[in-house]
Amino acid sequence: MIERTIETATKQYPLLLGDGAVRALPCLLRALSCPPGTKMLIITDDVVAPLYLDEVRATLAAAGYDVYAYIIPNGEAAKSFDNYYACQTAALQCGLDRRSLIVALGGGVVGDLAGFVAATYMRGIRYIQMPTTLLAHDSAVGGKVAINHPLGKNMIGAFHQPEAVVYDTAFLRTLPERELRSGFAEVIKHALIRDRRFYDWLRAEIKTLADLQGGKLAYCIEKGIDIKASVVREDEKETGVRAHLNFGHTLGHALESELGYGVLTHGEAVAVGMLFAILVSERLYGRSFAEHRFAEWFAAYGFPVSLPDGLAPHRLLEKMKGDKKAYAGTVRMVLLREIGDVEVVELEDDKLLAWLCEFAGQGGER
Amino acid sequence: MIERTIETATKQYPLLLGDGAVRALPCLLRALSCPPGTKMLIITDDVVAPLYLDEVRATLAAAGYDVYAYIIPNGEAAKSFDNYYACQTAALQCGLDRRSLIVALGGGVVGDLAGFVAATYMRGIRYIQMPTTLLAHDSAVGGKVAINHPLGKNMIGAFHQPEAVVYDTAFLRTLPERELRSGFAEVIKHALIRDRRFYDWLRAEIKTLADLQGGKLAYCIEKGIDIKASVVREDEKETGVRAHLNFGHTLGHALESELGYGVLTHGEAVAVGMLFAILVSERLYGRSFAEHRFAEWFAAYGFPVSLPDGLAPHRLLEKMKGDKKAYAGTVRMVLLREIGDVEVVELEDDKLLAWLCEFAGQGGER
């Protein structure tokens, strides 16, 4: 079992990572001052529930907790106002009070939604993250919680750190390939923005998704968490370096919102977004990353490497201008100076539009 | 002009109180690092808007700000999920970014709703409180923001301190009597929980609502704010003494929720709730407050002094058990030991039910 302490300006909390981590829950909860009888609401989705809900529920019940569950639909479309309201209603009906705890059992969608419910139920109660996907190595750490609005992804939310992250890697064994791929985009992102050596390791060791298992998968999660944690330690509230984590997300979020949540997975959208950010970086810095053959590398994992058909560049630009990192309508993108080194750059609309058109035109050539 | 600094564990901010305080806005906003061009969304209601929106909007526009407005219906029923969502949509459509500012222009309902919008828009942006009611002397200070759920009042919310409170007492001149009465309940509450001398002053100087004007009204607001600020300074997040501010609110919130939001004003519900809390205090402490003739005093201001007809005590008890201060289904009420001295007490269901029945039976006799 790997143990980490996630540190932010406002809070420290433990992260447990490993096969069978779920069994450490009772001991952990005692340390968190959750006496027997504490009400716990597990929020999960209809894909995870049949696989792992019984085990988690039984573990908590055996430790003497008063356990409830609420199940949302699987998929990005579930991060909606309607489900947010439904979870709040469920929490009230279960009689959760300010000493109760919410358990987010699932991927990034469940973690973001359940975390935002916890952030605002009775003005904020405690919650723990129990990731069941590779993607959640990113979303479960750092306390950013949110729901989507049709006008933009993650637009309504809060910073609300969990009490703990319990990451049972046994839960990843049933992960569908598309989910594994989605999460791997964030692993790649973490390497590209902050760790050249990890990038080299990924290029050498993970040739296709089939390589993502056992010790290599665990190493990817561990490295991803360490990079994420180091960023969050420096900048909890995204006033500075935390914005670097948005590499690939400016266009990525615009794609998700424009296509309708769930059409592309988050990782697929971010992969396309990273390729676009690399093109912008090349144009702006007047350099080339051609030797890295990024599109070819991404394609080997099965990522889309070009804009989906039928998207108008000017509409994507409008979405990007509404991004949370934009100020006064000026798009701010994270650009790649070198592998492992990024910065936030303000970009003019007309240049961005020209590059979007160029990106749309070149198909999978990058 | 009276100036105060509101201090909490996480933040300090200015409060300006006086006739014409609105004219101090431009100077204040410059001090808050809001450069010209900053987008500002005024959230107000359809009673306040025809009276004061133009003046506030013009003041901000003249200072070079990019001003938008969104108008919700007046009344407690407006603190709903639907209006919360509508405000978020408006903020997105106006293109508010993380440097933008929300202006809550109105009473407690507008302040709570707009504050919660600000707390969660893009994970939190800045806002200022511009109270237009007497009640808002309480709600505008301290950073508690929320919306209602049909299962309970203020159940969904956050702690999000404003950047400033700008309280223009000229806005109170148009306040309907029922609104003035509603706010005065919180003034009485502040005196009862923490300030015997202020209580004596109220008994001597404010015989009826007609006395609530000019210098006496201003003094009530100033004293109320000072008491509220002193409590918030000690305990921002309601882990201790801040719960004292809930005096009269345990039954009060239950009444509002059970009758439907807006049937009683908040102050009317709190007035009935305080009379019940006094009855419980007498029974539990085995003492009498009869000499104070509280019901008679409240009646002179036009407050209801008994339970509205047709409410079942056991249903009120159920609502009280769902209160945010309840733990594990045990009601916790703020009780009066002496005038100016309260404490939080856990109460057994059967005793509470008996006292509710007694309170229901005695009509206006207290």
Consult the annotation and say whether A142 binds a ligand: no
Q: Which residue of B has its CA nearest to A80?
A: B85
Say whether B228 is catalytic.
Answer: yes
Helix axes A81-93, B81-93, angle to 10 degrees: 150
Query: What's the pLDDT band for A364 if we cut at 50, 70, 90?
Result: very low
Hey, are the CB atoms on B156 and A326 less than 8 Å from each other?
A: no
Q: Which of B81, B116, B156 sits opposite A121 (nearest CB)?
A: B156
Copy the structure tokens of residue A254.
């615009």
Dihedral pair phi/psi, residue A56, rounded to 5°: -65, -45
Q: What is the dihedral of CA A239, A241, A247, A250, to 10 degrees?
A: 10
B100 vs A contacts (CB less than 8 Å):
none
Q: Which residue of B has its CA nearest to A148?
A: B122
Hey, are the CB atoms on A97 and B327 less than 8 Å from each other?
A: yes
Consult the annotation and say whether A108 binds a ligand: yes
- The letter for the amino acid at B342 is V
Distance, CA of A13 to CA of A11 (rounded, Å): 7
B113 vs A contacts (CB less than 8 Å):
none
Q: Report the pLDDT value the prediction gives residue B365, as an integer from 0 to 100.
A: 45
Copy the structure tokens of residue A183.
């999460």
Q: Please compute the mean of the pLDDT values over residues A72-85 and round it to a whole number.
A: 96
Hey, are the CB atoms on A89 and B37 less than 8 Å from each other?
A: no
Question: What is the β-pairing status of strands A12-18 and A2-7?
Answer: antiparallel
Count of Cβ atoms closer than 10 Å to residue B242 Cβ: 18
Consult the annotation and say whether A239 binds a ligand: no
Hey, are the CB atoms on B121 and A156 less than 8 Å from each other?
A: yes
Q: Please compute the mean of the pLDDT values over residues A133-161 and round it to a whole number.
A: 95
Q: Which residue of A has its CA nearest to B121?
A: A156
Q: Which segments of chain B does DSSP mark as H helices, in order?
A: 25-31, 48, 54-62, 81-93, 108-120, 136-139, 177-194, 196-205, 214-234, 249-259, 266-285, 294-300, 313-321, 349-362
Say whether B246 is catalytic.
Answer: yes
What's the gap in Å between the CA of A136 and the closest CA on chain B? 19
Is residue B51 exposed (0-12), middle (13-18) or buried (19+ Cβ within 10 Å)? middle
Q: Report the pLDDT value the prediction gives residue B206, as an integer from 0 to 100.
A: 98
3-state secondary structure B273-313: HHHHHHHHHHHHHCCCCHHHCHHHHHHHCCCCCCCCCCCCH
Consult the annotation and say whether A160 binds a ligand: no
Closest listed residue to residue B158, CA positions, set A117, A154, A281, A51: A117
Closest listed residue to residue B19, CA positions, set B191, B225, B170: B170
Q: Which of A190, A266, A319, A332 is flagged as catalytic? A: A266
What's the gap in Å between the CA of B136 and the closest CA on chain A? 19
List, in order, residues 6 or more apart from A102 with CB less than 8 Å away.
Answer: A40, A41, A42, A43, A91, A96, A114, A117, A118, A121, A125, A126, A127, A128
Whether the complex's predicted ipTM surpasses the cut of 0.90: yes
Test mutation, A65, A81, A83, A97, chain B, max B CBs within 10 A:
A97
Element (H, E) at B343: strand B341-347
Hey, are the CB atoms on B98 and A324 less than 8 Å from each other?
A: yes
What is the DSSP code (8-state) at residue A322?
T
Q: What is the dihedral of CA B58, B62, B67, B71, to 10 degrees?
A: -10
**Structural contact between residues B342 and B258, judged by C-beta atoms closer than 8 angstroms:** no
Q: Please compute the mean of the pLDDT values over residues A110-122 and round it to a whole number.
A: 98
Sheet of A2-7: strand order equals: A2-7, A12-18, A164-168, A126-131, A101-106, A39-45, A66-72
Q: Which of B81, B97, B328 sits opposite A328 (nearest CB)?
A: B97
**Residue B167, beta-bridge partner list:** B17
Question: What is the β-pairing status of strands A144-149 and A66-72?
Answer: unpaired
Q: Please compute the mean of the pLDDT values over residues A1-28 and round it to a whole number.
A: 94
Helix (H, G, I), strand (E, B) or coil at A182: helix
What's the gap in Å between the CA of B15 and the closest CA on chain A? 24
Q: Which residues of A98-107 are buried (b: 16+ CB within 10 A; e: fewer)?
A: bebbbbbbbb
Q: Which of B76, B238, B256, B258 is flagged as catalytic? A: B238
**Structural contact between residues A226 and A123, judged by C-beta atoms closer than 8 angstroms:** no
Give the C-alpha distances (Å, rounded to integers) separating B270 from A206, B40, B298, B301, B318: 64, 34, 11, 14, 18
**Structural contact between residues A131 and A107, judged by C-beta atoms closer than 8 angstroms:** yes
Mean pLDDT over each residue of chain A, to the nearest integer: 95
Question: What is the β-pairing status of strands A39-45 and A66-72?
Answer: parallel
Hey, are the CB atoms on B120 and A328 less than 8 Å from each other?
A: no
B97 vs A contacts (CB less than 8 Å):
324, 326-329
Q: Which residue of B has its CA nearest to A327?
A: B97
Closest listed residue to residue B13, CA positions, set B168, B198, B179, B142: B142
> Can you say whether residue B308 is alpha, beta or left, with left for phi > 0 and alpha for psi between -120 and 50 degrees?
beta
Q: Please compute the mean of the pLDDT values over residues A257-277 and round it to a whole number.
A: 95
Hey, are the CB atoms on A123 and B92 less than 8 Å from each other?
A: no
Q: Which of A92, A146, A155 sits opposite B149 (nearest CB)?
A: A92
Q: Model-level pTM greater than 0.95?
A: no
- The letter for the amino acid at B313 is P
Per residue of chain B (366 residues), what is the pLDDT tens digit? 899 999 998 899 999 999 999 999 999 999 999 999 999 999 999 999 999 999 999 999 999 999 999 999 999 999 999 999 999 999 999 999 999 999 999 999 999 999 999 999 999 999 999 999 999 999 999 999 999 999 999 999 999 999 999 999 999 998 999 999 999 999 999 999 999 999 999 999 999 999 999 999 999 999 999 999 999 999 888 888 999 999 999 999 999 999 998 899 999 999 999 999 999 999 999 999 999 999 999 999 999 999 998 899 999 999 999 888 888 889 999 999 999 999 999 999 999 999 999 999 875 444
Q: Report the pLDDT value the prediction gives residue A363, as an integer from 0 to 100.
A: 55
Q: Which of A81, A88, A97 sits opposite B85 (nearest CB)?
A: A81
Q: Which residue of B has its CA nearest to A37?
A: B328
**Structural contact between residues A146 and A157, judged by C-beta atoms closer than 8 angstroms:** yes
Distance, CA of A238 to CA of A249 (rounded, Å): 14
Dihedral pair phi/psi, residue B119, rounded to 5°: -65, -25
List, in order, residues 6 or more apart from B101 with CB less than 8 Å away.
Answer: B29, B32, B34, B38, B39, B40, B41, B125, B126, B127, B128, B163
Q: Which residue of A has its CA nearest to B39?
A: A328
Distance, CA of A9 to CA of A137 (rounded, Å): 20
Say whether A186 is catalytic.
Answer: yes
Distance, CA of A46 to CA of B358 (rounded, Å): 49
**Structural contact between residues B249 and B270, judged by C-beta atoms closer than 8 angstroms:** yes
Residues of A contacting chain B (CB within 8 angstroms): 37, 39, 81, 85, 88-89, 92-93, 95, 97-99, 116, 119-124, 144, 146, 149, 151-152, 155-159, 238, 321-322, 324-329
A157 vs B contacts (CB less than 8 Å):
120, 122-123
Q: Please compute the mean of the pLDDT values over residues A325-329 and round it to a whole number.
A: 84
Query: In this predicted model, which residue has the larger pLDDT, A261 or A337?
Result: A337
Hey, are the CB atoms on B324 and A159 less than 8 Å from each other?
A: no
Q: Report the pLDDT value the prediction gives residue B323, as an integer from 0 to 100.
A: 86
Give the C-alpha distances (Å, rounded to integers) separating B363 from A92, B296, B304: 32, 12, 10
Say whether A238 is catalytic.
Answer: yes
